[in-house]
Amino acid sequence: MELTNFIHQSVSYMSSWALRCAAELEISDHIKAYGGPMPLHELARSILISTEKELMLESLMDLLVHQRVFAKCEAGYLLTPTSEVMLSEGANMGAFVRFVTESFPEQLFFTSKWFKDTGKSTVFQLAHNGKQAWEVLKEKPELGNLFNDAMASHSKESVRILVKRYPEIFDGINNLVDVGGGTGSTVKIIADSFPDLRCIAFDLPHVVDNSLNNDSISVIGGDMFDKIPPADAILLETILHDWSDEDCVKILKKCKEAIESTKENGKVIVVDMILDAEIDDDSKETETKLIYNLSMMSVFGGKERTKKEWHGLILGAGYSDYKIYPTRMPLYSVIELYS
Ligand SMILES: C[S@@+](CC[C@H](N)C(=O)[O-])C[C@H]1O[C@@H](n2cnc3c(N)ncnc32)[C@H](O)[C@@H]1O
């Protein structure tokens, strides 16, 4: 059993590659378009794969069926809730698996070297001649665009769940700034859900998409360590886990200034993970959080945080109180901060 576990761990990166391949071949879209259980030869025909490669396609599908990404009945392959997130008309999360399989592996080989290195940089910096992830994403527009698409697909799903399951969060606010809001896909969802709410998508100047400017959305390029536009509410959706405690305190202080300049009861809405104290349960949720924690540390020098760590961070930035909402979304928690 131990040997199986060891070998499974050694080869499990292949699971990410299989998922990426399914995303690139748009297998979910092909199965959806077929309209029912799709036989192997129909799938091969639909994605224009020659007959001699059907065996490899079947092996790919066997693995993904085993992992519940797709389902299989006698008549053929079916979608599951997992493969549905790759549908181009839905969350379209193919960009997410493409980004993580493309950008992470080259730097991961530096991890053991980093542990023995005397410098304070991140694994990413060691692998990229001292450059930070944000610099490299700016310098390589193709990678930067893939990152933005990956974040947009991921964040759209989270924010769709946020507005549906936590509508009360948006009560009583007239305007909201989505700090680190990328190309603005999340503010579009918020503005569509709450037509009276004025939304601002705020991100680095080379990231924002100015074409989004309209009656309910404004786009502002800037640096959150410098100044955040004033608003009743600030959304920080998967932002703080990219940063060290020291940087998070700086960001949270800037957010505090921004909400204090408009009204008395402003708030900051944090959507991020909470690492539970119990890490020895064998749930996928816990394992995913632990993987995220390690990747945030190695790529950005950030981390996922326990409740105790969130408490220290929030009070350390000068907030008087906060509320953690009961869990109603996968992986992420919602924390509301009051100045
Ligand atoms: C992990 S992504 C968050 C995903 C994002 N909420 C979305 O909707 O796509 C972090 C975001 O923070 C932005 N960011 C990084 N440094 C920043 C800075 N100094 N000021 C403003 N935004 C910054 C990045 O460009 C990126 O879009």
pLDDT digits (tens, 9 = 90+) for 44-94: 999 999 999 999 999 999 999 999 999 999 999 999 999 999 999 988 999
Q: Compute φ and ψ for 234, nearest 5 degrees.
A: -115, 135
Contact indicator for 253, 199 with CB cutoff of 8 Å: no
Q: Compute φ and ψ for 205, nearest 5 degrees.
A: -55, -35
Residue 203 pLDDT greater than 80, yes or no: yes
Amino acid symbol at 292: Y
- Same structural domain for residues 170 and 285? yes
Residue 195 pLDDT greater than 90, yes or no: yes
DSSP string, 157-179: HHHHHHHHH-GGGGTT-SEEEEE
Which runs of consecutive H residues, i.e. helices, occur in 166-283?
185-193, 245-260
- Tally of residues, the chain: 339
Residue 277: per-residue pLDDT: 63
pLDDT digits (tens, 9 = 90+) for 130-174: 999 999 999 999 999 999 999 999 888 899 999 999 999 999 999
Cβ of 227 less than 6 Å from ligand 1: no
Any domain includes 145:
no
- Same structural domain for residues 42 and 185? no
**Residue 184 alpha carbon, nearest atom of ligand 1:** 8
- Same structural domain for residues 183 and 306? yes
What's the average model confidence in pLDDT over 174-201? 95
What's the average model confidence in pLDDT over 211-215? 91
Any domain includes 238:
yes
Residue 249: per-residue pLDDT: 98
**Residue 181 alpha carbon, nearest atom of ligand 1:** 8
Which runs of consecutive H residues, i.e. helices, occur in 212-306?
245-260, 284-300
Give the chain's radius of gyration (CA, Å): 22
Cβ of 204 less than 6 Å from ligand 1: yes
Contact indicator for 204, 223 with CB cutoff of 8 Å: yes
Three-class SS of residue 262? coil
Domain residue limits at 289: 166-338
Among 31, 55, 88, where does a domain finish? 88
Residue 283: per-residue pLDDT: 86
- Alpha-carbon distance of 97 to 79, in angstroms, equals 18
Residue 300 pLDDT greater than 70, yes or no: yes
Residue 246 pLDDT greater than 80, yes or no: yes
Cβ of 255 less than 6 Å from ligand 1: no
Residue 328: per-residue pLDDT: 86
Q: What is the CATH number of the domain that holds 171?
A: 3.40.50.150
Cβ of 239 less than 6 Å from ligand 1: yes
DSSP conformation class of 39? -
- Same structural domain for residues 76 and 214? no
Q: How confident is the model at residue 183 (pLDDT cuts 50, 70, 90)?
A: very high
Q: Which of 200, 226, 205, 236 is nearest to 215 (CA)?
A: 200
Q: How confident is the model at residue 264 (pLDDT cuts 50, 70, 90)?
A: confident
Q: Which of 109-118, 244-253, 315-324 is least confident?
A: 109-118
Amino acid symbol at 275: L
- Same structural domain for residues 177 and 309? yes
Question: Cα(80) to centroid of ligand 1, in Å?
Answer: 31
Residue of 145, 178, 207 to mutate, ligand 1, most atoms within 8 A of C-beta: 207
**Residue 182 alpha carbon, nearest atom of ligand 1:** 27
Contact indicator for 162, 189 with CB cutoff of 8 Å: no
Among 88, 103, 119, where does a domain finish? 88
Residue 102 pLDDT greater than 90, yes or no: no
Which residues partner with 268 through β-bridges?
Answer: 234, 337
Amino acid symbol at 145: N
41 is catalytic: no
Q: Compute φ and ψ for 199, nearest 5 degrees.
A: -115, 145
Residue 336 pLDDT greater than 80, yes or no: yes
Residue of 178, 203, 228 to mutate, ligand 1, most atoms within 8 A of C-beta: 203
- Alpha-carbon distance of 156 to 151, in angstroms, equals 8
Residue 64: per-residue pLDDT: 98
Record the tokens describing residue 45, joined without a space. Answer: 């025909």
- Same structural domain for residues 60 and 183? no
Q: Whose CA is nearest to atom 12 of ligand 1?
A: 180
Question: Cα(48) to centroid of ligand 1, in Å?
Answer: 38
List Cα–Cα distances, 325 to 101, 114, 178, 288, in angstroms. 32, 37, 19, 21
Any domain includes 220:
yes
Any domain includes 315:
yes
Any domain includes 68:
yes
Average pLDDT, rounded, for the chain: 94
Contact indicator for 270, 240 with CB cutoff of 8 Å: yes
Q: Whose CA is nearest to atom 19 of ligand 1?
A: 223
Any domain includes 126:
no
Active-site hit among 30, 128, 241, 311: 241
Question: Cα(221) to centroid of ligand 1, in Å?
Answer: 11
Question: Cα(227) to centroid of ligand 1, in Å?
Answer: 14
Residues near 156 by beta carbon (within 8 Å), at least 6 away in sequence: 91, 185, 186, 189
Q: Which of 221, 224, 187 is nearest to 207 (CA)?
A: 221
Angle between helices 54-66 and 13-24 (to 10 degrees): 120
Number of independent structural domains in the chain: 2
Q: Whose CA is nearest to atom 5 of ligand 1?
A: 181
- Alpha-carbon distance of 272 to 167, in angstroms, equals 17
Residue 185: per-residue pLDDT: 92
List Cα–Cα distances, 270 to 41, 241, 325, 328, in angstroms. 47, 10, 11, 14
**Residue 156 alpha carbon, nearest atom of ligand 1:** 8
Among 57, 88, 119, where does a domain finish? 88
